[in-house]
Structure 1
């Protein structure tokens, strides 16, 4: 559902969106997982250049469901990753691919806190000029 919601925006930017997720029964408030995925995907679309690539992989690992979203955007330094995970934090270079600077920068910190409440986790790995991988870990039961 989250991928289908963001697919039109990805299509509009001519992004290649490759999604493959293993099915799993998740007990708990899946709205948190859905919101996390929507936020991560929307950021990937927003910060990816036209004709970029977005990859989503989801699978069960131990007692969790793990989703990895990788983009071919500008990437971030360690300091920029820290800023992205702090409320109202944003690096001075964090602009959308069209050059605009939008949003309050509260989405990822909020999602991270919500995931932590249910025993989940949000991690960001990024390489400047290469791209970013965001990993969402959500407990299955």
Structure 2
């Protein structure tokens, strides 16, 4: 079979993941129909619709133009695991230790997973300070501007 007609095997995973994200978006969109307050439906519906549209575009693009490029590529497995564990730990910790402290857990885990350069004391202070500023800004935005009750 000529190369231009051969279907690469690496695109199957992208198709499956895109289809799963479309399905999760549909489930999330359906879930919002049970919300009693119409104001609380706006953000989840917007995110669900965007997830369906972008994952659908990814699904169509990968189906029409299959490619082995992309995907996980090469990298360190522990970084991927650390990022997922940090996100779950932050989510599970919110009811117990609050928004800011659980955000710090998720931010620190994600930062350690993403940092490929050598750590220096100045880099650590800079990242800790900028992370704290971002988390405090989000806390203030949600609590005082949007009036979202946070733990």
TM-score of the aligned structures, taking structure 1 as reference length: 0.29
Larger radius of gyration: 2
TM-score w.r.t. structure 2 length?
Answer: 0.28
Q: Compare relative contact order (CA 8 Å, sep 6+) and give the higher one, 1 or 2.
A: 1
Report the structure, 1 or 2, having the larger strand content. Answer: 1
